[in-house]
Amino acid sequence: MWDKLCKHAAAVKNRRFETLVDANRATDFSASAGDMHFDYAKTNIDTDGRALLIDLLDEVDLAGKRVAMFSGSAINETEGRAVLHTALRNLDGGPVLVDGADVMPEVLGTLNRMEKFATDVRSGAFKGQGGKITDVVNIGIGGSDLGPAMGVLALAPYHDGPRCHFVSNVDPADISQVLRSCDPATTLVIVASKTFTTIETMTNARTAKAWMGESVSNPAGQFAALSTSEEGTAAFGIDAARVFGFEDWVGGRYSMWGPIGLSMMIAIGADAFRAFLRGAQDMDRHFQAADWAENMPVMLALVGIWHNQVCGYSTRAVLPYDNNLSRLPAYLQQLEMESNGKGVSMDGEDLSINSGPVVWGEPGTNGQHAFYQLIHQGTRVIPCEFLVAARGHDDDLHHQHQLLVANCLAQSEALMKGRDQDEARSKVAGKFDGSELERQAKHRVFAGNRPSITIAYPKLDPFTLGQIIALYEHRVFVEGAVLGINSYDQWGVELGKELATALQPIIEGADASGKDGSTAALVGFLQKHGV
Ligand code: F6P
């Protein structure tokens, strides 16, 4: 199938896809889920190409794999675990069995406990030594940070609880800056770590406890923990009443729907958090029910496969025209790159096609004034993924929102159409002539024919954010299934962790002679300058 796809891609490579884009194509090459609309008409995928892409799904038995995931089979085979983040938003669904036991009573019980605690923090029923909680500090990294940090920012217009801060980096600059802005007597610290062993998080948690202990008589009383490790949280001294647990079938980068979302729930309240879960559940249902060609996560994944594995475009830019989604690219970097950055297939063979792409991006319109130059005129093609809401949150400034939307649509149009030499010449005619006119015009030519997709929605509210994140999660699942990899482990991050542990004593003065010349020289330089 890959051969057929590559042959097809080669045959249509030089076609200008804008010639395909009429009103029918806009309907045919788009998908809807609830109020969300996904347009992939501005790509070079045609009916034949799409049919070949869809054939890939049958070849890998995507339907069977989807059932396996939702029903709790241990599809994370290298860790022997189920992959059931969907259970965390299965608010009114049926039982979900892991090893024959229904996990839903525990999931819903924990959700209720979180809601009670979040409500108490927000109302002041839960207090710090100095009174009502004014600040929440979430200490976590990777999936224990990026989800709630992105979500709190995305839902800023709904934020009516205490201020929320996120500390992730072991760099002391991160925690010092946050703690400086908080009063320990009215601060709640949430230690978010699935394993409760991650060195950055545990180091920052101890620093926060010491900071609080300087002015609060019972610092552990103002700590909560989000973790699968009961022993770890108990050893840290956190009362079990404020420990919110989850099971190992929730991967770190898929965990914001459960306890890891506690800071977000405290920020926006339990009802809004439930709306966020409902949005995701809505996308889950769509993903399970819609035909492949109408299925938004499936088609988003196939567009990704087309651009990355078939056409060879190695990066994709995520460009939200929604400033509150400014951390979405960082969130998706972990979701997509930690999931599908794998070079070995499920059967232990080297992958014969490219692994997932590099994901990067920034909100529009800011990116336009920074790196879009390369997207429009650079020599490499970068497929762009635009996100845009019909309405913002400030009705009095709706004219600014309209300008934002105009910019978003203008970019995908410019990428597709480009500007040829004739048009470029007409822009500078009168200023230059002869060969200088040609030379000047050439610099103003845009090749165009550059693909993009657009995800549009009415407004970025909690429900919509849930839809968006679940959409991307399922896209990762489909891309991983087509590539034949395990999207749910992350062995590639282990080596660096082991070497950092081994290097720490060397940095502190132990003998560096066993190290390679470059590392030893760098240690020497940093020691000379006081490390
Ligand atoms: O090192 C990678 C990783 O394991 C991520 O997958 C995870 O999200 C992050 O570290 C944090 O892990 P934990 O929640 O266990 O502290």
| Whether complex ipTM tops 0.90 | yes
- Please compute the mean of the pLDDT values over residues 346-365 and round it to a whole number: 97
Distance CA 265, CA 273 (A): 5
- At residue 57's C-alpha, the angle toward residues 54 and 62, to 5°, is 145
Token pair for 101: 């036991």
Q: Give strand pairing partners of 101.
A: 98
369 is catalytic: yes
**434-443 helix and 421-428 helix, angle to the nearest 10 degrees:** 110
**CATH number of the structural domain 2-75+283-491:** 3.40.50.10490
Residues in the chain: 531
Residue 204 CA to ligand 1 centre (angstroms) = 15
Q: Give strand pairing partners of 419.
A: 446
- pLDDT score of 401 more than 90: yes
Residue 100 CA to ligand 1 centre (angstroms) = 28
> Could you write out the three-class secondary structure of 150-185?
HHHHHCHHHCCCCEEEEECCCCHHHHHHHHHCCCHH
CATH class of the domain comprising 85-274: alpha beta
Catalytic residue, candidates 231, 349, 369, 508: 369
Distance CA 373, CA 194 (A): 41
Token pair for 246: 């989850």
Locate tokens 């991650």: which residue?
198
Cis status, amide bond into 365, omega within 30 of 0? yes
Distance CA 201, CA 216 (A): 21
Catalytic residue, candidates 338, 362, 473, 479: 338
Please count the other Cβ atoms lying within 10 Å of the Cβ belonging to residue 136: 26
Report the nearest atom of ligand 1 relative to the CA of 338: 6
Query: Whose C-alpha lies nearest to ligand 1, atom 8?
Result: 143
* DSSP labels, 224-274: EEEES-HHHHHHTT--GGGEEE--TTS-GGG-TTTGGGHHHHHHH-HHHHH
Give per-residue pLDDT as tens, 253-297.
Answer: 999 999 999 999 999 999 999 999 999 999 999 999 999 999 999
- Please compute the mean of the pLDDT values over residues 33-47 and round it to a whole number: 98
* DSSP labels, 445-456: -B-----EEEEE
Report the nearest atom of ligand 1 relative to the CA of 144: 14
Give per-residue pLDDT as tens, 318-353.
Answer: 999 999 999 999 999 999 999 999 999 999 999 999
Report the nearest atom of ligand 1 relative to the CA of 195: 15
Beta strand 223-227 pairing with 187-192: parallel
- Please compute the mean of the pLDDT values over residues 299-316 and round it to a whole number: 98
Query: Whose C-alpha lies nearest to ligand 1, atom 2?
Result: 493
Distance CA 448, CA 17 (A): 10
Distance set, CA 72 to CA 79, 104, 108, 228, 288 (Å): 14, 12, 17, 18, 15
Residue 513 pLDDT: 86
Residue 159 pLDDT: 98
Among 109, 33, 53, 95, CA closest to 470: 33
Query: Whose C-alpha lies nearest to ligand 1, atom 10?
Result: 142
- pLDDT score of 1 more than 90: no
- Please compute the mean of the pLDDT values over residues 207-231 and round it to a whole number: 97
CB 261 within 8 Å of CB 148: yes
Report the nearest atom of ligand 1 relative to the CA of 253: 8
Among 187, 192, 190, 129, CA closest to 162: 187
Residue 45 CA to ligand 1 centre (angstroms) = 37
Beta strand 384-389 pairing with 452-457: parallel
**Choice from 81, 144, 228 to test ligand 1 binding pocket (greatest atom count within 8 A of CB):** 144
497 is catalytic: yes
Distance CA 263, CA 163 (A): 10
Residue 192 CA to ligand 1 centre (angstroms) = 10
- Please compute the mean of the pLDDT values over residues 240-261 and round it to a whole number: 97
CA 281 to mean position of chain CA atoms: 17
- pLDDT score of 93 more than 90: no
- pLDDT score of 20 more than 90: yes
CB 188 within 8 Å of CB 131: no
Residue 321 pLDDT: 98
This prediction has a pTM of 0.97
Report the nearest atom of ligand 1 relative to the CA of 198: 16
515 is catalytic: no
CB 86 within 8 Å of CB 284: yes
- pLDDT score of 78 more than 90: yes
- Sign of the CA dihedral running 354, 360, 361, 367: negative
Domain range summary for the chain, segments of one domain joined by +: 2-75+283-491, 85-274, 494-528
H/E stretch holding 127 reads strand 127-128
Report the nearest atom of ligand 1 relative to the CA of 141: 11
Ligand 1 pocket list (CB less than 6 A): 141-144, 193-195, 198, 201, 252-253, 338, 490, 493
Residue 303 pLDDT: 98
**Choice from 150, 197, 254, 490 to test ligand 1 binding pocket (greatest atom count within 8 A of CB):** 490
- Please compute the mean of the pLDDT values over residues 348-359 and round it to a whole number: 96
Residue 310 CA to ligand 1 centre (angstroms) = 31
H/E stretch holding 377 reads helix 372-377
In this chain, the answer to whether the domains covering 2-75+283-491 and 85-274 adopt an identical fold is yes
Give per-residue pLDDT as tens, 100-129.
Answer: 999 999 999 999 999 999 999 999 999 999
Among 95, 61, 64, 68, CA closest to 83: 68
Residue 386 CA to ligand 1 centre (angstroms) = 28
CB 232 within 8 Å of CB 197: yes
CB 186 within 8 Å of CB 136: no
Distance CA 363, CA 361 (A): 7
Residue 149 CA to ligand 1 centre (angstroms) = 15
Among 267, 227, 269, 268, CA closest to 250: 227
